[in-house]
Amino acid sequence: MLGRLIAKRLALSIVQLFGASVVIFALVRQLPGDPAVSQLGSTAGPEQIEALRERLHLNDPVPVQYGIWIRDLFRGDLGRSNVTGNAVTTDLADRIPATLELITISLLAALVLLVPLGVFTARVAKRWYSRSVNRSVSTYGLFAGSMPDFWLAQLLLFLLFFKLGWAPAPLGRVDLMLGPPDDVTGLYTLDSLIAADWGRLRDAIVPSRWCSSTGRRSSR
């Protein structure tokens, strides 16, 4: 019985992964622009663009492109970035430390905020307003858990930066005039501490451009 259940779940997972891969492949192919032109630049000649299109198999039928994409994926080849021109694995390796740092900071912030909130909710369980508090906390938890992070991030950027001007432009954590700290560990806060660079440390925690458009905090 257990073996049959495991086999059923594995088969279902394979179908789900296949479906997700088809959707991702189709969405990427719908992006505007020619990947060959994006990698070579607008000054590249037609022969160069055509040669790169052949090398990237962009002239092959779509099913063949999908098969090559899956094959390369299993080999660990994620292709090259149209923005930086680097291998995607190289860009990922460069950004993973800072990403893990942001995740750690977010988890710590969640613990600082949510643990006291949970204690408070438990303490007021028998108060007359406990139903409203529990409903508010439950609604927030349901909303936070059900919203896709990438969608919520875009929504917050649109609202807080574009509409209200309360947040800095999404141009990185550190001021562009400063640039990231010297790469020792890849963690912006730790590398800033090692270099005793307090300006970059402050930017890594709270960007100096924060609220600059509202005049509450000036940018460099």
Alpha carbon of residue 155 to chain centroid: 14
In this prediction, residue 212 carries a pLDDT of: 45
In this prediction, residue 207 carries a pLDDT of: 57
Q: What are the tens digits of pLDDT across the range 26-45?
A: 887 877 777 777 777 777 78
> How far apart, in whole angstroms, are the C-alpha atoms of residue 37 and residue 49?
6
> How far apart, in whole angstroms, are the C-alpha atoms of residue 38 and residue 40?
6
Q: Which residue has the higher pLDDT, 54 or 154?
A: 54
> How far apart, in whole angstroms, are the C-alpha atoms of residue 100 and residue 107?
10
Q: Where are the domains of the chain?
A: 2-88, 156-220
> Could you tell me if 80 and 86 are in contact, meaning their C-beta atoms sit under 8 angstroms apart?
yes
What is the 8-class DSSP label of residue 182? Answer: P
Mean pLDDT estimate for the chain: 77
In this prediction, residue 110 carries a pLDDT of: 80
In this prediction, residue 216 carries a pLDDT of: 40
Q: What is the mean pLDDT of residues 143-153?
A: 74
In this prediction, residue 168 carries a pLDDT of: 62
Q: What are the tens digits of pLDDT across the range 156-215?
A: 778 877 777 776 666 666 666 667 777 777 777 888 888 887 777 777 766 555 444 444
Token representation of residue 169: 């432009």
> How far apart, in whole angstroms, are the C-alpha atoms of residue 74 and residue 67?
11
In this prediction, residue 219 carries a pLDDT of: 37
